[in-house]
A = this chain, B = another copy of it.
């Protein structure tokens, strides 16, 4: 690519919002990059472009300073790249905000004999305390909550389980640096019972009578753990209902999920809220 006066332009594709995305993959000399960036910016301004994104692989870290000096700022980063952005128009910047939340799941796997699947972890703040907890984990990038809960149970304990519903969720702030955390408590139905614990992270795993789990001193003191116990009993002994996933059609053949109280939605006994 080049202009009439021979200066190289940066390879760019248009985005859906009137802007352009530059994805550099091959190494580039600093001076060449500076010249190409200036020429490209000039062209994009003439073309009325809005947001300009530059995705720099970590191997091109020497170009970060140059983009910043040309007025770009950071948008987000992953281990192997940094995304920089610039807003050309004088109108209000509509660059979308960065991701703000990490998402975790906790899996409540209860048998019909009132036994709860519990583990002791090899690391973390409960390490070495002898406290039994439910399997928990972080939702991977691009992973559905209902998939993550099943995966964590399988990974930590070898148990196959079917996802039923989200029974509660917690939002906390400043979980790490300035980021927040959303933790989804999920209810699962066990499909197998022979525990094969993971060696790396799990010290021990077992099926524990729910009353015994509830009686752990930790659960009596810890607010969240006590709520988990309450939810187990509400699920076993009352008619507690959470949010079940309903698949929504999506453009890329992969459904996304809307989680809601399907029982009440389908209820055939109308009442009024007043």
Contact = CB atoms under 8 A, between A and B. Distances in A.
A131 interface: no
Contact of A238 (B80, B235, B248, B269): B269
Chain multiplicity (copies): 2
Interface residues of A, number: 88
Interface string A218-231: 00000110010011
- Decide if the interface of chain A is mainly helix, strand, loop or mixed: mixed
Interface string A55-97: 0001001101100110001111111111100000000101011
A261 B240 contact: yes
B58 A265 contact: no
Interface stretch (A5-13, A31-39, A171-179, A207-215): A171-179
A100 B73 CA distance: 20
Given A101-B100, A267-B239, A174 B142 contact: yes
A20 to B, nearest CB: 14
A230 B265 contact: yes
9 contacts: A58-B74, A64-B64, A65-B65, A75-B79, A76-B76, A101-B103, A142-B178, A168-B260, A242-B260
